[in-house]
């Protein structure tokens, strides 16, 4: 414990910084009238000293305490007006975590003292709480020390070679039989050799982790305990989630990244900067709300007691404020420079790009990211929508960004459901969605193609349920999307009918094949490759149980075979060397024989005509791609019966089968030009020109 007199210190760097002799503390608040630094014992249970920060330079409050060492726990008490209708919610009775804190000590205890208002008052949030929240909230901790990265290097996998695998740290390893009990559900569980070996075996190149920033759930919106298992309620943008730490050391995450890199795997983080775990005006006061509510959140212009909410969570983080923007940028750089991550997926990215309440491409956030030399080197993926006005912005982000393409998702789902009117849209989605992304010299990889993600049905449930079954969430099945474009093949849920099981497996394989043989950047949901089920729940955000956990021991032989098939398709995608293109197709002739870079064929072996494109009952098509590496024909048939298909004729050439999702053809079977073959129902066939 420090015995020396406090010194003024410096306004930067923000947060707590150990220099070998003491610790500098710096905190942004534009509207506070007074700030106190509270030091606690190692456990964070007992407050042992308090300092007033008397220095304020350009809204940065700061102090330097000689003699403090790493491991010191602390929090802030911030004074100012409690005037909700003016946007101010200061309450010094609430201990606040450091927005720049790199580690948290202790757990959040759900108690009425964590609210800035008196929860028993009829005036609700207009009242003022005098209860001390310190016993019930986590404390920030000073960190220091070095991690031996050895010769760690970012894999820097080219985006055109990238295959993303979205998963959840806890759910992926919680029931893994080869991961030691203590490490299950943690970063060290993800790092275990059995986990890494499987990812390498499957062939994906990047693992995208659902939020790992510290979170506590969204119970403030419910009135009863119902944690956000997914983690989309971040309340610290620098601290890793404590429950994912096996030995309470943040180096465990660094170790995971280092191990992933050794095996050529990139690590992406799903980050939530559009809102925080403090929620709406009825939520707790844990950090930003108590430090400077009017600066950190976008307020309702008509009544600042309330928030502008484009996120559906009760509030929106105010990235328009330069200090708040700096917080987000500093967080991103921290995870790249100190934690060595390779990319980010931005939840509800449209909210980050709003000026006042409108989406703007010339916003501060996009400009800041574009010019940043650290972030220029990593992958940046937008979820290009929110629920605010004009919030749907698929295709609206600038060059250098990759975007989740829900139009791809819905079209592929509808095609494999057997819907009509899908062929023109499907052709665009298969070829990179040029109608959405082909502008401003953007690349064909701009489209992040996916059929399933954490939000919505798993692939198994997509072919097993017609409607959602979310009753276990406790919201009377009102939550979750009703637009799933799913088909149960004739029976809702589990069945022993072999013909239905066969149909489900064929359509599941067909969708995965379509995903991996589409141009763009593919993203798979972990577990889809062996038909993991959530029992029809399409919004299991609060299910910390077997609904979300992957039950590795329950994977059947047939399901393992599907995983082997997916591995085969991934290997084929890499081998063909046609999906690593950057430019969109133009349909132009490539050589003297009149071969185009991309052509579309019908079952007669001839190129699509205007009438073919207008045939709304059509449920099959094929594309051919010709280049110096490979020349292939991919046939997609979602008719309920097999279909005769004449192979196109190219002088002096023959065909051989590379892939058959139905298993009806012999591998590498050679076929002649113009030969008529029978394409099984609900299948994908890949044929290569034999040179």
Q: Which residues are catalytic?
A: 347, 383
Query: Can you tell me whether residue 529 is helix, strand or coil?
Result: helix
Could you tell me the sign of the dihedral formed by the alpha carbons of 107, 113, 115, 121, in that order? positive
In angstroms, the Cα distances linking 101 to 143, 228, 537, 687 are 9, 22, 36, 55
* CA-wise closest residue to 23 among 34, 45, 39: 39
Rounded CA separation 144/131 (Å): 33
Helix (H), strand (E) at residue 404: strand 402-405
Beta bridge partners of 50: 38
221 Cβ partners below 8 Å, 6+ apart? 279, 280, 282, 283, 313, 314
| Token pair for 122 | 């009829």
Rounded CA separation 353/389 (Å): 12
Helices (H), 373-458: 406-417, 423-430, 434-437
In angstroms, the Cα distances linking 425 to 545, 582, 585 are 38, 21, 16
**Which pairing describes strands 379-382 and 358-359: parallel, antiparallel, or unpaired?**
unpaired
Rounded CA separation 569/77 (Å): 56
* CA-wise closest residue to 470 among 403, 402, 539: 539
Q: How many CB atoms lie within 10 A of CB 172?
A: 27
Task: Tell me how far apart the terminal alpha carbons of the chain are, to the nearest angstrom.
Answer: 76
On whether the CB atoms of residues 383 and 409 are closer than 8 A, the answer is no
Q: How many CB atoms lie within 10 A of CB 513?
A: 25
107 Cβ partners below 8 Å, 6+ apart? 138, 242
On whether the CB atoms of residues 242 and 216 are closer than 8 A, the answer is no
CA-derived radius of gyration, the chain: 27
Phi–psi pair at 480, nearest 5 degrees: 85, 155
**Which pairing describes strands 206-209 and 266-271: parallel, antiparallel, or unpaired?**
parallel
* CA-wise closest residue to 427 among 574, 604, 608: 608
The per-residue DSSP string of 327-342 comes to HHHHHHHHHHHTT---
The per-residue DSSP string of 256-305 comes to HHHHHHHTT-EEEEEE--S--TT-STTS--SSHHHHHHHHHBPBPSS-TT
Rounded CA separation 534/452 (Å): 13
On whether the CB atoms of residues 622 and 600 are closer than 8 A, the answer is yes
Rounded CA separation 534/519 (Å): 29
**Which pairing describes strands 164-167 and 206-209: parallel, antiparallel, or unpaired?**
parallel
121 Cβ partners below 8 Å, 6+ apart? 127
């Amino acid at each position: 414990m420090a015995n020396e007199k406090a010194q003024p210190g410096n306004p930067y760097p923000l947060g707590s910084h150990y220099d070998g002799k003491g610790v500098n503390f710096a905190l942004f608040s534009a509207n506070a009238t007074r700030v106190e630094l509270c030091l606690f014992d190692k456990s964070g249970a007992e407050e042992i000293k308090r300092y007033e920060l008397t220095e304020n330079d350009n809204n940065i409050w700061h102090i330097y305490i000689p003699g403090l060492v790493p491991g010191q726990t602390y929090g802030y008490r911030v004074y100012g007006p409690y005037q909700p209708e003016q946007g101010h919610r200061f309450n010094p009775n609430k201990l606040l975590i450091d927005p720049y804190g790199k580690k948290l000590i202790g757990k959040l205890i759900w108690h009425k003292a964590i609210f800035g208002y008196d929860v028993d008052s009829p005036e609700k949030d207009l009242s003022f709480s005098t209860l001390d929240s310190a016993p019930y909230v986590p404390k920030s901790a000073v960190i220091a020390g070095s991690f031996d990265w050895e010769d760690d290097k970012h894999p820097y996998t080219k985006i055109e070679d990238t295959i993303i695998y979205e998963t959840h740290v806890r759910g992926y390893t919680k029931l893994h039989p080869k991961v030691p009990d203590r490490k299950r559900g943690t970063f060290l569980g993800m790092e275990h050799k059995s986990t890494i070996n499987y990812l390498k075996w499957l062939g994906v190149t990047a693992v995208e982790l659902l939020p790992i920033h510290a979170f506590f759930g969204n119970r403030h919106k419910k009135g009863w305990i119902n944690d956000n298992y997914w983690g989309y309620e971040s309340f610290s943008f620098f601290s890793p989630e404590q429950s994912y730490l096996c030995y309470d050391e943040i180096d465990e995450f660094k170790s995971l990244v280092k191990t992933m890199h050794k095996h050529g795997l990139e690590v992406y983080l799903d980050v939530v900067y559009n809102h925080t775990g403090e929620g709406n005006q009825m939520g707790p006061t844990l950090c930003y709300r108590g430090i400077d509510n009017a600066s950190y959140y976008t307020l309702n212009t008509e009544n600042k007691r309330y928030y502008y909410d484009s996120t559906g969570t009760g509030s929106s983080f105010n990235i328009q404020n330069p200090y708040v923007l700096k917080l987000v940028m500093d967080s991103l750089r921290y995870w790249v420079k100190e934690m060595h991550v390779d990319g980010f997926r931005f939840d509800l990215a449209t909210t980050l790009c709003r000026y006042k309440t409108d989406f703007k491409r010339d916003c501060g956030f996009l400009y800041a990211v574009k010019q940043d030399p650290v972030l220029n080197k990593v992958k940046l993926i937008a979820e290009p929508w929110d629920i605010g006005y004009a919030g749907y912005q698929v295709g609206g982000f600038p060059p250098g960004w990759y975007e989740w393409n829900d139009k791809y998702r819905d079209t592929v789902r509808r095609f494999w459901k057997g819907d009509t009117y899908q062929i023109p849209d499907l052709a665009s989605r298969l070829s990179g969605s040029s109608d959405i992304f082909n502008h401003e010299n953007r690349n064909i990889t701009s489209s992040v193609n996916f059929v399933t993600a954490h939000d919505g049905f798993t692939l198994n449930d997509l072919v097993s349920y017609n409607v959602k079954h979310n009753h276990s969430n406790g919201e009377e099945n009102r939550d979750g999307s009703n637009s799933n474009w799913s088909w149960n093949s004739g029976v809702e849920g589990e069945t022993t009918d072999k013909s239905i099981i066969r149909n489900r497996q064929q359509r599941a394989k067909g969708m995965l094949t379509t995903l991996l043989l589409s141009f763009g950047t593919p993203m798979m949901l972990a577990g889809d490759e062996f038909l993991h089920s959530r029992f029809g729940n399409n919004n299991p955000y609060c299910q910390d149980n077997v609904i979300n956990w992957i039950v590795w021991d329950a994977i059947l032989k047939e399901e393992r075979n599907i995983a082997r098939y997916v591995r085969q398709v991934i290997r084929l995608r890499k081998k063909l060397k046609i999906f690593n293109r950057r430019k969109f197709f133009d349909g132009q002739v490539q050589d003297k024989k009149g071969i185009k870079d991309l052509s579309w064929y019908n079952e007669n072996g001839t190129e699509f005509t205007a009438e073919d494109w207008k045939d709304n009952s059509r449920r099959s098509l094929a594309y051919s791609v010709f280049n110096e590496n490979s020349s292939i024909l991919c046939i997609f048939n979602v008719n309920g019966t097999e279909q005769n298909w004449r192979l196109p004729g190219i002088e002096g050439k023959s065909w051989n089968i590379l892939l058959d999702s139905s298993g009806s053809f012999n591998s590498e079977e050679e076929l002649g030009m113009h030969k008529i073959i029978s394409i099984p129902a609900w299948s994908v066939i890949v044929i290569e020109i034999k040179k």
